[in-house]
Amino acid sequence: MSQSLIQKYNIPGPRYTSYPTVPYWDNTTFSLKSWKKSVIKSFEESNMAEGISLYIHLPFCESMCTFCGCNKRITQRHEVELPYLKALLKEWQLYLDIFPQKPRVKEIHLGGGTPTFFSAENLKFLIKELLRKVELVENHEFSFEGHPNNTTKAHLEALYEVGFTRVSYGVQDYDEEVQKAIHRIQPFEKVKTATEEAREIGFTSVGHDIIFGLPFQTIEAVEQTILKTKELMPDRIAFYSYAHVPWIKGNGQRGYSERDLPSAEVKRKQYELGKKLLEEIGYLEIGMDHFALPSDELAKSLKENKLHRNFMGYTASKTQLMVGLGVSSISDSWYGFAQNVKGVEEYQDLVNQEILPVFKGHILTEEDLIIRQHILNLMCHLKTEWNSLAELPELPQILDRLTEMENDGLLKRKENKLEITEKGRPFVRNICMAFDLRLQENKPETRLFSMTV
């Protein structure tokens, strides 16, 4: 890739797991009443047709991984498990009370933190209780994020028994120096055991998360990590750029300086080498920074034009309503977003008072909904189209902002269509930023986002 293009377009920008992005939510027009109204509207439109999704945030970790930007609580006190799970169930009941009829659940995802901080018995208890008052959609998919060091066979068996068939393991990198820097000592044998046990038990999709751009990470380290990954051939791979935002994520990312990070040029070489190696062994690139074997549902969904993106990243299908349970979880009704409070104690206090633990959100305008769909099209399918310029009054200005990128060969534009080229694929975030009217109208004075390349 041209170094001049990297230098030109490597700027801070959103990853677009939502539009509007969280820093641009309008809290002045948001209220619990407006949020509940949007939930009911979405539920009535989509529950019978496609079902709903649940994202459950389990925040506890026994130790700090310094690369991590997730909301977490570091503790080795496992007596925190049951009070937190009971609070989750109370929050779920608050949503059940809002729904006009029994929900049909299509997806459940356990994220964190470290979901496998919780015992196998407690996780099984949580899922059984969550499912007591729901129906399941045919071909539902339950998944969780596993830490290879502490995901036991008992965890896998317990979750498989209550319907889980997909697990994603955080690998990051196998180089010892990198692992020490990010405080994630994780031998290959641990990952191998966790991967093989999941498959033996019956999990149909095993994913690995690999990060490039980590402190002290060389191009050779990325190559060796991919070659080791080849030995296990996970069904999916998230191969994404480390987001260095210590001014947002706090002390965890202050354990090393920007001098310890690969340059933008080296990061891009790491990605291009990784992509080349993954494609040589049979993986297909999915959207941005994701790869899957042709047999995996993610690859099938891309082929069938069903690929979707939300706060959990890429998913094989769309549900209009996604309910987020737990601290810091974000819910998405399509018409609005709502984020829960970030403190464990505050969260538990609110749900024990039978109050939805939401502290901020955004109700989308008609303009937001149109822009959201265009950005979703670009992130998932690398193309979008419009019926007429009248559809969005600002479209001429958006297209003007894209002219230079078109001249640089990053996209092709014809009449009412826009398509990102292979050359432009690394810059999909930049192209989406041209559509982001809230970003364009209120460019931040301080840095909010990680670099785009």
pLDDT value at residue 253: 46
By the 8 A CB rule, do 173 and 211 touch? yes
pTM of the model as a whole: 0.93
pLDDT value at residue 445: 57
Sign of the alpha-carbon torsion through 103, 104, 110, 112: negative
User: So where are the chain's domains?
Assistant: 21-363, 366-441
Residue written as token pair 């192209």: 431
pLDDT value at residue 173: 96
Of 307, 346, 306, 341, the C-alpha closest to 324 is: 341
Residues in the chain: 453
pLDDT value at residue 170: 94
Of 375, 449, 339, 373, the C-alpha closest to 16 is: 375
Sign of the alpha-carbon torsion through 26, 29, 31, 34: negative
Sign of the alpha-carbon torsion through 186, 117, 330, 383: positive
3-state secondary structure (DSSP) of residue 304: coil
Residue 280 in tokens: 């040589």
Measured CA to CA in angstroms, residue 221 lies from 172, 279, 291 at distances of: 11, 18, 19
Other beta carbons less than 10 A from residue 22's beta carbon? 16
Pairwise CA distance, residues 296 & 238, whole Å: 13
Backbone φ and ψ for 346, nearest 5 degrees, come out as -65, -40
pLDDT in tens, the chain (453 residues): 577 888 888 888 898 999 999 999 999 999 999 999 999 999 999 999 999 999 999 999 988 887 777 888 889 999 999 999 999 999 999 999 999 999 999 999 999 999 999 999 999 999 999 999 999 999 999 999 999 999 999 999 999 999 999 999 999 999 999 999 999 998 999 999 999 999 999 999 999 999 999 999 999 999 999 999 999 999 999 998 887 665 444 445 445 678 889 988 898 899 999 999 999 999 999 988 899 999 999 999 999 999 999 888 899 888 999 999 999 999 999 999 999 999 999 999 999 999 999 999 999 999 999 999 999 999 999 999 998 767 888 999 999 999 999 999 999 998 899 999 999 998 999 999 999 999 998 876 556 677 777
Residue 295 in tokens: 């047999």
pLDDT value at residue 131: 97
Measured in whole angstroms, how far is the alpha carbon of residue 416 from the centre of its chain?
A: 30
Residue 140 in tokens: 């539902």
Write the CB contacts of 243 (distance below 8 Å, at least 6 apart in sequence). Answer: 15, 69, 450
Pairwise CA distance, residues 334 & 328, whole Å: 18
Select from 1.10.10.920, 3.40.1010.20, 1.50.10.100, 3.30.420.40 the CATH code of 366-441. Answer: 1.10.10.920
CATH class of 21-363: alpha beta
pLDDT value at residue 246: 59
Residue written as token pair 């317990």: 158
- Looking at residue 346, what DSSP letter applies? H
Other beta carbons less than 10 A from residue 334's beta carbon? 19
